[in-house]
Chains A and B, each alone.
Chain A
Amino acid sequence: MRWLARLLASLRQASGTDGEREKPGTAGVPARRADAESLKRAFQNIHDAECVEIENDRLGKATLLYIRSLIDIRQLQEFVIAPLQNASGADLRDTIHAAHLTEMDSPEQAETAAFKGAVIVLAGGRLWSISLASSLSRAVEPSKQEAVIHGPQDSFTEQVENNLTLIRRRLAASSLKSERFLVGGLSHTTVILLYVESLTNPELVRIAREKTAAVRSDAIFDSSHLSQFMEDHIHSVFPQFQQTDRPDAAAAALASGKVVWLVENTPFALIAPITFFDLFQSPEDYIHRWPVASFLRGVRFFAFLFAMFLIPFYVAITMHHYQMVPLDLLFVVLESRSEIPFNPFWEALFMMLVLEILKEASLRMPSKSGQTLGIVGGIVIGQAGVEANIASNLLIIHVAVTAIASFLIPNYLMTNSSKLIQFGLLLLAAWLGLWGITLGLILVLIHLNGLTSLKQPYFAPLSPFYGADWKDTIVRLPLKRMSRRPAYLKPANPWRFGAGSGRPERKG
């Protein structure tokens, strides 16, 4: 059996490295002269890998290796090549005064650094790296997914260091700790784990750290790829990590006692642990007046339930419980259903599928034709369908309202999850009417009961029941009343309001 373990270990090593914590460089291990050759071999068949040799009386020979597409060429000339040409000695620390000068322990470390946008300098038998990453990036723009009308308009970009800046500006405290991981054997994606030490439960941080370090994949391109390796329940339709591209949301999560992951090359940060109710919260809730905010949250929950249950309810009533229909509506239903050849279940299924097809198609359409398709799909197909007696107009209304209501959920992943649940409930409704729908609902509740996010219960504050947390779940009570942090996070410091708030700046 041990040979099997060894075989698996060697396979794992071949496919990619584990997310390893970057250790601070230790000086004093000279690199062998042959390393230049090994590095040059690593850079074979990479046409944008360049090698520059600089010779100088005092310095000796210095070899520069870098990937041109990853570095900033202008800075190379100004901060590296020019000083090197005037070097006074082999110790680069006297010559180059760049901030990111680090000595490398091994050729592998140097290789990793080179592919992260560093210039490798081999001089005097020692390997150095100077980080000169290209600043190619998107400007900070308003978020498209989580737009708010009133509130901060900046959002994350694909550069993880910029994102960290946005967060550190909001939580200007030394207790905001950041740990850097490299995840992915091929992608070496930088993942930064953020938490506020004084208040986050150390157990949570430990679990987060272990999960990040245990990610085995060769390429992580997005935060949701990362989250899928860290989830407790991969088969559930409910997302166990929240993804946001708003720095204020991330900062608020950190201030509550949650853990945030910033992932390179994607603007979406991960937040955990979350609960089911967190999926219905929007940063705008804290900007509106509290009765208005409570009302809007209530509307969101109602819209979610409405979107999930309306069509199954309609199918259940028209197929099994005709006696529940109010009298006036009864004749409307009879009229509209009288010439449809299918029974309500097939009709509803068909229309829901058509709606899904329309939604997916509008995503893939080039933007020029997207609008036309929307009109064609929505109006023409809907209207023609009713007139050709494929669907009843009542059902078309239901489908349209459901589609719109499902977009009230702030979390995009949850919107699509609710569709799936809706299909399941539709089947149960057709089979056993309202009894079937209730069965489905109970199944969903039990499922939520057992879900965990970062090993914390997902359905808190309902199960386990934390009375105090209800101040910020469906209603949003005034911020003044929310003196404690959410109990399900078991924060090390549960009190929000403390000394040091609102101190006037002393004039020196």
Chain B
Amino acid sequence: MSRGMRAEERGAAGGLWPASLGWLFVNRLQVVLYILVLPHVLLYPYMIWAIVIVGFLSHFNLRLLAGWLRTEEARLGYEGFVRLLGERATRALAVPGAAALLLDSAIVTLDYLEVAHHVLFPSVSRLTLLPLLWLVSFYLAGQGMLLAGRFVVMAFIGSVWIAALFIQFLFPPAAEYRLLLPVFPKEPRGDLALILPALWAALSGPQYLAFAGRRFAPAGRMFRWLALGNALTVLEYIVFFLAVTLSFGTEYMRKIDYPVVQLIRYIQLPFFERLETVVIPAHMILYVFLDAFFILFLRDALRVAAGAARKPERPGWLTAAAFLWVAVVYVIGRFFWTNETQHRLWIHVHVWLAGALYALVPSFLALAAARRRRRSDRTLT
């Protein structure tokens, strides 16, 4: 029946994601928060090298991730994790995993809603926009992991053109190239201890793909797709950083809350001005995709934690996960995100949380898989 079809197509036909979708996942998962909220610590021109360096580190991290995705355990899903870590450990780890998922997506979503509220609807509460965003994400999540994953193509198309709009800021008259100097400073200013973790967190996101291993069609060269996505993200960050630096300069950037958003407000096209009213809603598609993805992972985490992973799936689990998600995010937004200090605190929490997850998850899993293989090799001989 599937004569003459390449492996990727067969994947799509049989209810799996083709491996080539990997770069879209990686790129959009990484870019989702930091397009709008480019870390406020990136003030000095030489930090462009910091972006490149962290990009390389992320590259190597993705190698570990690809290695994990190639193993048989990754392809088995729950059974694979049980083989690696044992059933009790897997179930136990699912609880903090669920919490991490909730926190990560909550902070990301609330930050976006903060921007939307600040720029577009100063008179409408964030907590009005949240349930609507949630409703649409729930709708997408209800279609299942396979279809929700395919939606990444649309999320990509719906948001990648924003980076293209920024290219106009790389040329005069808006750009002042001398603002890029000094780019190889002998005495670098700025706190590297803050910058590098922030950039690392900016490139986090793909680690969640480790739990979706069984969704990808078997393909030998997963790494090239992941690397492509990472490279594209780094390129986008560089474009944004250059645009912001060339347009504002270090001193001015210090005074602005969201430099990228400020620059969006400066874009001018022949018939269109004030594009922030279009660009910021357009970003919503990314957050819908991300939240749906996270709700589905949350559902899986809840099932694993409750020991129901082997039983057939029932619609109640997804509903429970979705309602839990919106409840947690609403509560955080209502009680714990009411002023500037709390906002900054949450951003720091996110940087450390996402950074840690991105650093630990792929290496931990790759190591565990390698140890298991060595052990099984040893038992064979």
Chain A in direct contact with chain B (Cβ < 8 angstroms): yes
Chain A: interface residue count, which band? 20 to 34
Q: In whole Å, how far is B114's beta carbon from the nearest beta carbon of chain A? A: 14
Task: Flag if A492 contacts B3 (CB, 8 Å).
Answer: yes
Interface of B is mostly: helix
Q: In whole Å, how far is A276's beta carbon from the nearest beta carbon of chain B? A: 12
| B-contact 0/1 string along A39-66, CB 8 Å cutoff | 0000000000000000000000000000
Known interface pairs A321-B277, A443-B139, A462-B154; A435-B12 also in contact (CB < 8 Å): no
Residue A331 CB within 8 A of the other chain:
no
Task: Flag if B151 contacts A446 (CB, 8 Å).
Answer: yes
Determine the distance from Cα of A435 to Cα of B116 in the docked complex, in whole angstroms. Answer: 9
Report the stretch among B68-76, B172-180, B268-276 that lies at the interface.
B268-276
Residue of A nearest to B143 (CB): A450
Task: Flag if B282 contacts A464 (CB, 8 Å).
Answer: no
Residue B9 CB within 8 A of the other chain:
yes
Determine the distance from Cα of A294 to Cα of B283 in the docked complex, in whole angstroms. Answer: 29
Determine the distance from Cα of A492 to Cα of B136 in the docked complex, in whole angstroms. Answer: 37
Q: How many residues of B contact A (CB 8 A)?
A: 41
Task: Flag if B271 contacts A326 (CB, 8 Å).
Answer: yes
Known interface pairs A438-B284, A450-B143; A463-B150 also in contact (CB < 8 Å): yes
Residue among A201, A434, A466, A492 facing the most chain B CB atoms (10 A cut-off): A434
Residue A354 CB within 8 A of the other chain:
no
Task: Flag if B132 contacts A463 (CB, 8 Å).
Answer: no
Determine the distance from Cα of A462 to Cα of B12 in the docked complex, in whole angstroms. Answer: 12
Provide the residues of chain B in CB contact with A465, threshold 8 Å: 12, 18, 20-21, 150, 153
Determine the distance from Cα of A447 to Cα of B285 in the docked complex, in whole angstroms. Answer: 14
* B124-176 interface (Cβ within 8 A of A): 124, 129, 132-133, 136, 139-140, 143, 147, 150-151, 153-154, 157-158
Determine the distance from Cα of A203 to Cα of B13 in the docked complex, in whole angstroms. Answer: 12
Known interface pairs A321-B274, A439-B132; A490-B2 also in contact (CB < 8 Å): yes
Task: Flag if A439 contacts B284 (CB, 8 Å).
Answer: yes
Determine the distance from Cα of A423 to Cα of B102 in the docked complex, in whole angstroms. Answer: 35
Residue B92 CB within 8 A of the other chain:
no
* A450-468 interface (Cβ within 8 A of B): 450, 457, 462-466
Provide the residues of chain A in CB contact with B272, threshold 8 Å: 324
Residue A433 CB within 8 A of the other chain:
yes
Determine the distance from Cα of A323 to Cα of B13 in the docked complex, in whole angstroms. Answer: 47
Provide the residues of chain B in CB contact with A438, threshold 8 Å: 281-282, 284-285
Residue among B2, B12, B139 facing the most chain A CB atoms (10 A cut-off): B12
Provide the residues of chain B in CB contact with A383, threshold 8 Å: none
Provide the residues of chain A in CB contact with B129, threshold 8 Å: 432, 435
Residue A385 CB within 8 A of the other chain:
no
Determine the distance from Cα of A366 to Cα of B3 in the docked complex, in whole angstroms. Answer: 56
Known interface pairs A442-B284, A446-B143; A201-B1 also in contact (CB < 8 Å): yes
Q: In whole Å, how far is A429's beta carbon from the nearest beta carbon of chain B? A: 11
Task: Flag if A443 contacts B136 (CB, 8 Å).
Answer: yes
Q: In whole Å, how far is B355's beta carbon from the nearest beta carbon of chain A? A: 30
Residue of B nearest to A462 (CB): B153
Provide the residues of chain B in CB contact with A439, threshold 8 Å: 132-133, 136, 281, 284
Residue B60 CB within 8 A of the other chain:
no
| B-contact 0/1 string along A406-448, CB 8 Å cutoff | 0000000000000000000000000011110111001101110
Task: Flag if B9 contacts A487 (CB, 8 Å).
Answer: yes
Determine the distance from Cα of A435 to Cα of B13 in the docked complex, in whole angstroms. Answer: 35
Q: In whole Å, how far is A489's beta carbon from the nearest beta carbon of chain B? A: 10
Provide the residues of chain A in CB contact with B153, threshold 8 Å: 462-463, 465
Determine the distance from Cα of A355 to Cα of B200 in the docked complex, in whole angstroms. Answer: 56
Residue of A nearest to B272 (CB): A324
Provide the residues of chain B in CB contact with A107, threshold 8 Å: none
Provide the residues of chain A in CB contact with B120, threshold 8 Å: 433-435
Residue A83 CB within 8 A of the other chain:
no
Residue B121 CB within 8 A of the other chain:
yes
Task: Flag if A449 contacts B9 (CB, 8 Å).
Answer: no
Residue A125 CB within 8 A of the other chain:
no
Residue B288 CB within 8 A of the other chain:
yes
* B279-322 interface (Cβ within 8 A of A): 280-282, 284-285, 288
Residue A494 CB within 8 A of the other chain:
yes
Task: Flag if B150 contacts A203 (CB, 8 Å).
Answer: no
Residue A283 CB within 8 A of the other chain:
no
Determine the distance from Cα of A442 to Cα of B2 in the docked complex, in whole angstroms. Answer: 33
Residue A89 CB within 8 A of the other chain:
no
Determine the distance from Cα of A466 to Cα of B21 in the docked complex, in whole angstroms. Answer: 11
Provide the residues of chain A in CB contact with B288, threshold 8 Å: 442, 446
Q: In whole Å, how far is B120's beta carbon from the nearest beta carbon of chain A? A: 6
Determine the distance from Cα of A494 to Cα of B1 in the docked complex, in whole angstroms. Answer: 11
Residue B5 CB within 8 A of the other chain:
yes
Q: In whole Å, how far is B155's beta carbon from the nearest beta carbon of chain A? A: 9
Provide the residues of chain B in CB contact with A495, threshold 8 Å: 4
Q: In whole Å, how far is A235's beta carbon from the nearest beta carbon of chain B? A: 14
Residue of A nearest to B20 (CB): A465
What are 24 A-to-B residue pairs whose CB atoms are below 8 Å? A323-B273, A323-B274, A324-B273, A324-B277, A326-B271, A433-B120, A433-B121, A435-B116, A435-B120, A439-B284, A442-B288, A443-B136, A446-B136, A449-B140, A449-B154, A464-B18, A465-B12, A465-B18, A465-B20, A465-B153, A466-B12, A487-B5, A490-B2, A490-B13
List of 9 A-B pairs having minimum Cβ-Cβ separation, nearest first: A438-B281, A464-B12, A463-B150, A450-B143, A435-B281, A321-B277, A446-B140, A324-B274, A465-B153
